[in-house]
Structure 1
Amino acid sequence: MHCYDRCIVQLGVTLQKIYFGYWLIIGAFFAEFMSVGVQNYVVGPFMIPMSEEFNWTRAEYTLPRTIGGFVTALTGFIVGAYLDQWGPRRFMLAGALILSLALYFLSEINQLWHWVILNGVVLTVGSALIGNLVVNVTLIKWFVDFRGRAIALAAMGISFAGVILTPLTTWTIDTYSWRFAWQLLALGTFIVVIPAALLMRRTPEDYGLRPDGRSNQDYRKGLTKKATIDFNRSLTRRQALKSRTFYSLVIAFTLFTVTIHVMLLQTVPFMTDAGYDRTTAALMITTISVPAMLAKPVWGWLIDGLQKPRLLAAASSVTSASALFIIVYAANINQLDLLIAGFLLLGLGWGGMIPLQEVIWASFFGRRHIGAVRGAALPFMICLGSIAPIATSYYYDMCGNYDGAIIIVGLANIISAIIILWIKTPEKGRNPS
């Protein structure tokens, strides 16, 4: 056998020893990179050039994101019901195609209604089919003991979108045109998401595996006990909807994540209104994204190690609120260094949002029906959260600045921290501390 052949054989043997859940983390990383990237991280750079060319108000430009919230809610409710049965792959393949086509046709728009339908409906459906709900529900089923780290590592793709997509999109718009930028995003989405979708699988049990890659020897040692309890104590969608805990989590996490919806959309115009150029403004998204990305593995380690996700969620929320207050103050006194510090702190707070949210939902309701439960929560969370982006733009149109709106978002984060700490465990649930 030639040396090359021996290397290929050895590589195959080595790959077979790697728990397949780790490949799912890689696929989820790239899926979330494109899903959240094209839906949120690139919207800010397009706002001013598109609004100026078509003479739109900022509220009109933001309208698709509000409509998109309701579309995401409906899509998630439907997908969640079948995700537990069918797995993620077919949804993600369909989503990759829909999203790529929507991005391309955005480069051809000439009317506001084109923008609203393509961005608010078509793009949103495609993004939802490859996004957080689909990939995180899958990871929840494949990991229990290392759930925090798995979701945190995959969620690094979201922050990586801010590091790469925001400055790249801004440069492409300023160098070429906003239409070419949409076409480039369409091509990138298709190339990245299709391979990621092909990696995805429903549950480890379908392939004779155990969560976290545990072996039969681990089972005999009792190391799979937590996974067994997590499965057996799972609540169905009907049971979850009857619990007060479900609605408390909806309110808490809506207030928790509203910061992301507002700041990803408004940071670039907020900075340019404060007198900074578009390059500096776009770099603030990167300034948020780098610490958010680097902090995610740390948050994941803390979640799995300390087993205190609610306390950590409150800390993450308060950190984000403090950062928003600093950002508003620094912009008003024109202190770029303090602005950068505020955005760095915001990134640290954001780093814990997604892994903490997913771990807490799974800790309360188990993994067996988590797709249906999370899908049921989306209509409530997103319909409430969708008010924030257009309300922020409306505040700007009325007042000429974003200061009051951003402060209100910070206060919402503090309220979220209080609610999370006081939520009661549902009757069949397991206390996530």
Structure 2
Amino acid sequence: MYYGWKIVGVSFTALFISIGFLFYSYGVFFLALEEEFGSSRLGISLGLALMNLTMGLMAPFLGKAVDRYSIRTIMLVGTCLMSTGFLLAAQITALWQFYLILATLLGVGEAMLGMIPSQTLVANWFIKNRGIALGIATMGVSASGMIMAPVSSKLIEVIGWRYTFIVYGITSMVVVIPLVYCFVVNRPEEKGLFPDGESAPDALPPGSLVESEGAFETEDQKAADTIDHHSWSFRQAVTNKNFWAIVITFSLCMHCIGAVLTHMIPMSIDRGLTNTQAAMLLSLSAGVGVVGKVIFGWIADHIDTRVGVWISIAFQMSGVFLISRGEEMLLMQIGVALFGFGMGGVVPLWGSLIGEVFGRENFGTIMGTMSPCMLPIQITGLPLAG
């Protein structure tokens, strides 16, 4: 078996832990934290917005780091910080302390373990099969949502939110550290291999996205202007219109996702659902997202990444419309399923586009630079939806 699939497995686990324990579980903690500290829904949402702000601000530095230094070391440090953050969060006596932990230990730790290092690893190990590899790796995000929302709800019900944080802190360290330490290698060349397990590096396949006068034009359309986008530098990337097209498109998607995932449980409870029923809705969106990640990854590899982006957006918009209008359980379930399927494509399509347009040499740097550019639009979804 090609070693790159082990990298995919580690990335799956890292994303499951970092995203599931923080983002997907955050909405489940809403009522407990509101009752404990007498805060408003806007006040609780602010904590996640602060964590997103931290992650966005450090993303450019993290992106450069994963391109230049050991991703294994970065992920190990991130795991330790995140675990410590959970253990300290269990001891808080005021909401400002929770804000501080989210904006420091948990925010920095999640960033160092989560999306940028995990996607960079997979993008380094795959070219031809990058879409499906990213789709499988980022299934960890959807799988965590499918599992962690009801698990968190049950844990809070049985042992309380403080001990739930302790369980998360210990589990993060015990599960992630051995996997990262034993298996993470930055690039296939470090093990004498080539991307996708090829015996020699092949030329880019026809239809690969390259720089052109129009956003996302293909090599076939501009064959005379074809360039080796493995040589794209950071400066070339940020001055290219494709960079900003990707930033705007995916920041709007992240804005929508953050708002829906964070407020779905409180909104559902307001409409008469129990905490467990609301958590199951969140799990439904994540479960359908698992299917979406595989399908959109296949579309990126075999049809056209741009087509996948438009389909993903269409499903998200349809889902949000039904969720916002639906008072009946069935209508909400349909809306959540549609939204979850479209949401499933966002992360793998984002990584696929970066890899196709700019190559893998500076993948982490470019993804990291996009993150703070996306932040102003992305974080407004959390408090505005509250």
- Aligned amino acid, residue 203 of structure 2: K
- Quote the Cα distance in structure 1 between the aligned partners of 2:353 and 2:268: 34
Q: How big is the shift at 1:327?
A: 1.2
- Quote the Cα distance in structure 2 between the aligned partners of 1:94 and 1:294: 32
The partner residue of 1:236 within 233, 239, 249 is 233
Partners of 1:73 and 1:383 within 8 A in 2? no
Q: How big is the shift at 1:190?
A: 1.1
Question: Is 1:279 the counterpart of 2:257 in the alignment?
Answer: no
Question: Is 1:326 the counterpart of 2:304 in the alignment?
Answer: no
Match of 1:289 in 2: 286
The partner residue of 1:192 within 175, 178, 184 is 175
- Quote the Cα distance in structure 2 between the aligned partners of 1:290 and 1:267: 15
The partner residue of 1:149 within 127, 132, 138 is 132
Q: Deviations for 1:392-432, whole angstroms, at most 9, x for unmatched residues? A: 22xxxxxxxxxxxxxxxxxxxxxxxxxxxxxxxxxxxxxxx
1:355-394 matched pairs, under 5 angstroms = 355-393=348-386
Query: % of aligned pairs identical?
Result: 27
- Aligned amino acid, residue 192 of structure 2: G
Bigger Cα displacement from structure 2, 244-253 vs 267-276: 244-253
Q: Deviations for 1:237-287, whole angstroms, at most 9, x for unmatched residues? A: 111122222122111110022222112211110100111110100000111
- Aligned amino acid, residue 330 of structure 1: G
- Aligned amino acid, residue 289 of structure 1: A
The partner residue of 2:22 within 23, 33, 39 is 39
Give the alignment's TM-score, normalised by structure 1. Answer: 0.82
Q: How big is the shift at 1:227?
A: 7.7
Question: Number of paired residues?
Answer: 366
Match of 1:345 in 2: 338
- Quote the Cα distance in structure 2 between the aligned partners of 1:247 and 1:102: 34
Moved over 6 A (4+): 227-231
The partner residue of 2:189 within 205, 220, 223 is 205
- Aligned amino acid, residue 364 of structure 2: G
Stretches of structure 1 that go unaligned for 5 or more consecutive residues are 1-17, 394-433
Q: How big is the shift at 1:302?
A: 1.9
- Quote the Cα distance in structure 1 between the aligned partners of 2:33 and 2:102: 13
Match of 2:59 in 1: 76
Match of 1:257 in 2: 254
Match of 2:220 in 1: none
Q: How big is the shift at 1:374?
A: 1.0
Q: How big is the shift at 1:208?
A: 1.5
Match of 2:3 in 1: 20
Partners of 1:155 and 1:354 within 8 A in 2? yes
- Quote the Cα distance in structure 1 between the aligned partners of 2:330 and 2:340: 15
- Quote the Cα distance in structure 2 between the aligned partners of 1:269 and 1:190: 30
Question: Is 1:315 the counterpart of 2:311 in the alignment?
Answer: yes
Stretches of structure 2 that go unaligned for 5 or more consecutive residues are 211-226
- Quote the Cα distance in structure 2 between the aligned partners of 1:59 and 1:356: 31
Partners of 1:296 and 1:351 within 8 A in 2? yes
The partner residue of 1:165 within 148, 153, 156 is 148
- Aligned amino acid, residue 229 of structure 2: R
Q: How big is the shift at 1:74?
A: 2.1
- Aligned amino acid, residue 320 of structure 1: Q
After superposition, the Cα gap between the structure-2 partners of 1:40 and 1:368, relative to the gap in structure 1 and judged at 3 Å, is same
Partners of 2:139 and 2:293 within 8 A in 1? yes
- Quote the Cα distance in structure 2 between the aligned partners of 1:273 and 1:188: 32
- Quote the Cα distance in structure 1 between the aligned partners of 2:253 and 2:33: 30
